[in-house]
Amino acid sequence: MSTNPPSSSDSTSLPPSPFQTTAALLAHLYADLTRLSSVSAPYIRLHTADRDLFTPPKPPLIGIAAAQAHEENLIAATGGTLVMDVQSITANEDFGCVLGVLRATKEGRGDLAVPFCGVWRFEGGWAVEHWENARGVEEFVRWLGE
């Protein structure tokens, strides 16, 4: 039984990645989350940080348009102040892990600092799956929505 999610394509049909390493890809992305579509396969699956706040759990977003919109909406919800303060990146050709602190400010709400762990899966040097993880995601969601 395969543990890989179904996809509309595979790594053999992707062009070569413009990045020397997946760690370089992740560093590039976390400097500006609006770059997601430039580092991901068209069929990326994104498991949002708030997935377990729902019953049943929220399904992953599928496809680059949905994943890119999610990241852009997150940035907009922070008034454009979102910064991913990366503390470490560990990656090989198949998987990557990024640890850091998500920071944002919003008038009337003060500063937000949420530790995060982004887990990634790669095919052919492109991001094909991402799991957002954040400590205190309930507080973060409340802060965004207030």
- Going along the chain from its start, the domains and CATH numbers come out as 18-145 (3.10.450.50)
What strand order describes the sheet that includes 40-47? 61-62, 40-47, 126-131, 110-123, 95-106, 83-91
Bridge-based pairing of strands 40-47 and 126-131 is parallel
Higher pLDDT, 108 or 11: 108
Q: Is the pLDDT of residue 2 over 80?
A: no
Q: Is the pLDDT of residue 6 over 50?
A: no
Alpha-carbon distance 108 to 95, whole Å? 39
CA angle, 43 as apex, 36 and 66 as ends, to 5°?
55
User: 0.85 exceeded by the pTM?
Assistant: yes
